[in-house]
């Protein structure tokens, strides 16, 4: 949201400081634009990432990308020159875009937390609860709230005080005026209520995953559960902590301006907390995309597409040759394979499964779900649909080969009750 400047100098008389500040702001803008472009390209070029869950991540990336292209360059110029030189009409458009895109970015983070909460607490009903229609309604809700608090409020003067003078020198000033009602409503709707819900949802996610990991740790001999639990705690703390650190100072100042007046806060301090909030748009591609294994694979294919394609092509040729050789050997052995009896395998649920003929030389492989295996794998899967489908083998099961007890929890919904 746009900062405030009331004097030509803003305390930037030092040339060295101006050059350093210019480089820092330029790097921040480039990281914001490049990071969110990579997220959009990864989803557009990888069919595996085209899912309902990633719709909110794409919406977040598009919002932050527009912020980096339409708002941050003008904010940097305004911050360095300490005066607005683009006219009064564009000042209204600039401030409206600033408020709208920052609000939409925060509400997208809010929707991502709700989506992950539904996936963790009730994974069996998740495909029923999260439908394309509801995702579309959520996205429309995000932009309706953002436009109402930005373009509609600013152009109708809902944010201006009764004593605000309309004869201000707009060639030097371009900032969002805040009165008591607008400051409280915008602060609650845009930040404080979403922050409260995000804290509750992420705490609930962590609690469920931790209880699941402890039960599996008692049933198996996975000694790395404690280390993985610590790493998962750090991951969730980084996600929520980055949001709080970036936006809490600014909205505290924003509400204080509404209560005490537009000029009640020091300009330099307000500029610092403003750009700290902007920095969240540069961190979002890392926190909400790079933590997902599917996104990391898409990034590798995007930046190293030729080596990856060659390696996968060679691997497929090798596997095809190996299968052909095994098939020829099986045909040469004659009818002995047809005389073998089917093998009955006992799986962990207590039922018996008859193996097909010709598969008696293979050992049965028992697997446990990713969330039940460790807390780290569960939390790493919070940002993708792989949370519901991926499976991996537990080390204790590979060594012992014994079936797990029948009361072993298979979904997080059992622990959420």
- pLDDT tens string, the chain, 417 residues long: the values are 654 444 445 655 678 888 999 999 999 999 999 999 999 999 988 888 888 888 999 999 999 999 999 999 999 999 998 888 888 889 999 999 999 999 999 999 999 999 988 888 888 899 999 999 999 999 999 999 999 999 999 988 888 865 544 444 445 778 888 999 999 999 999 999 999 999 999 888 888 877 877 777 666 555 555 666 666 666 777 888 899 999 999 999 999 999 988 788 888 899 999 999 999 999 988 887 667 778 888 888 888 754 444 444 555 555 556 555 555 555 555 444 444 444 333 333 334 444 444 444 444 444 444 434 444 554 455 444 443 444 344 444 443 444 444 444 333 433 333
CATH number of the domain at 113, please: 1.20.1070.10
What residues form DSSP beta bridges with 369? Answer: 391
User: How far apart are alpha carbons 116 and 134 in whole angstroms?
Assistant: 15
Contact yes or no for 233/264 (Cβ under 8 A): no
Helix (H, G, I), strand (E, B) or coil at 125: coil
Answer yes or no: is 278 within a domain. yes
Contact indicator for 206, 379 with CB cutoff of 8 Å: yes
Return the structure tokens found at 44. Answer: 């557009």
Instruction: Report if residue 401 sits inside a domain.
Output: no
Using DSSP bridges, classify how beta strands 391-392 and 352-354 pair: parallel, antiparallel or unpaired: unpaired
What is the model's pLDDT at position 391?
39
Task: Give residue 375's pLDDT.
Answer: 46
Place of tokens 């006992």: 346
Distance CA(393)–CA(265), nearest Å, equals 57
Maximum CA pair distance of the chain? 98
Which among 157, 139, 163 has a CA at the least distance from the CA of 63? 139
Q: Whose structure tokens read 């069919």?
A: 47
- DSSP for 207-262? HHHHHHHHHHHHHS--TTHHHHHHHHHHHHHHHHHHHHHHHHHHHHHHHHHHHH-T
Beta-strand pair 344-346/352-354? antiparallel
**Alpha-helical segments (H) within 122-192:** 126-129, 132-147, 153-156, 180-187
Specify the residue for token string 């939409």. Answer: 104
**Cβ–Cβ contacts within 10 Å for residue 254, how many?**
25
Residue 106 lies in a domain: yes
DSSP 341: P
Q: How far apart are the first and last CA of the chain?
A: 41
| CA 146 from centroid of its chain's CA atoms | 19
- Please tell me the distance from the alpha carbon of residue 281 to that of residue 108, in angstroms, as a whole number: 11
Examine residue 64 and state whether it is found in any structural domain, yes or no: yes
- The DSSP code sequence of 106-120 is HHHHHHHHHHHHHHH
Task: List the structure tokens of 234.
Answer: 């750090």
CB–CB of 113/198 below 8 Å?
yes
With residues binned 3-state (H G I as helix, E B as strand, rest as coil), the percentages for the chain, rounded to 5, are 70, 0, 25
Contact 146, 103 (CB under 8 A): yes
Name 354's bridge partners: 344
The answer to whether position 355 is within a domain reads: no
Q: Which domain holds residue 204?
A: 15-162+170-300
Our measurement of the distance from residue 165's CA atom to the centroid of its chain's CA atoms, rounded to an integer in Å, reads 42
Tell me, yes or no, whether 125 lies in a domain.
Answer: yes
pTM (whole model) above 0.75? no
Count: domains in the chain:
1
> In which region does residue 121 sit, left (phi positive, over 0), alpha (psi from -120 to 50) or beta (all else)?
alpha
């Amino acid at each position: 949201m746009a900062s405030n400047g009331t004097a030509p100098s803003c305390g930037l008389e030092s040339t060295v400081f101006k050059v350093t500040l210019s480089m820092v702001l330029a790097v921040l803008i480039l990281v914001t634009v490049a990071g969110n472009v990579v997220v959009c390209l990864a989803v557009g070029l990888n069919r595996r990432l085209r899912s309902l869950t990633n719709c909110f991540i794409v919406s977040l990336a598009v919002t932050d990308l527009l912020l980096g292209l339409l708002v941050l360059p003008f904010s940097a110029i305004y911050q360095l020159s300490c005066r607005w030189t683009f006219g009064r009409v564009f000042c209204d458009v600039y401030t409206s875009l600033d408020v709208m895109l920052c609000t939409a970015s925060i509400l997208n983070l809010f929707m991502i937390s709700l989506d992950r909460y539904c996936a963790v607490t009730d994974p069996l009903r998740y495909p029923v609860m999260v439908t394309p229609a509801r995702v579309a309604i959520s996205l429309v809700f995000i932009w309706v709230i953002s436009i109402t608090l930005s373009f509609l409020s600013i152009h109708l003067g809902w944010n201006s005080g009764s004593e605000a003078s309309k004869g201000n020198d707009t060639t030097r000033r371009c900032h969002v005026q805040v009165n008591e009602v607008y400051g409280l409503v915008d602060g609650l709707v845009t930040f404080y209520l979403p922050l409260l819900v995000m804290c509750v949802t992420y705490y609930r996610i962590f609690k469920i995953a931790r209880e699941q990991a402890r039960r599996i740790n008692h049933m198996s001999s996975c000694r790395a559960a404690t280390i993985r639990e610590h790493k998962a705690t750090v991951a969730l703390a980084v996600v929520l902590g980055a949001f709080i650190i970036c936006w809490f100072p600014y909205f505290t100042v924003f509400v204080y301006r509404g209560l005490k007046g537009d000029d009640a806060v020091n300009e330099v301090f307000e500029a610092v907390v403003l750009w700290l909030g902007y920095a969240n748009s540069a961190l979002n591609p890392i926190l909400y995309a790079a933590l997902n294994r599917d996104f990391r694979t898409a990034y590798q294919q995007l930046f190293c597409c030729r080596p990856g394609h060659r390696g996968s092509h060679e691997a497929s040729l090798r596997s095809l040759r190996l299968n052909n050789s095994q098939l020829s050997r099986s045909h040469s052995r004659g009818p002995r394979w047809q005389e073998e009896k089917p093998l009955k395998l006992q799986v962990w649920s207590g039922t018996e499964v008859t193996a097909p003929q010709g598969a008696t030389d293979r050992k049965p492989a028992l697997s446990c779900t990713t969330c039940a295996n460790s807390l780290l794998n569960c939390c790493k899967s919070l940002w993708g649909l792989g949370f519901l489908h991926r499976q991996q083998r537990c080390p204790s099961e590979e060594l012992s080969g014994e079936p797990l007890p029948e009361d072993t929890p298979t979904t997080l919904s059992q622990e959420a009750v």
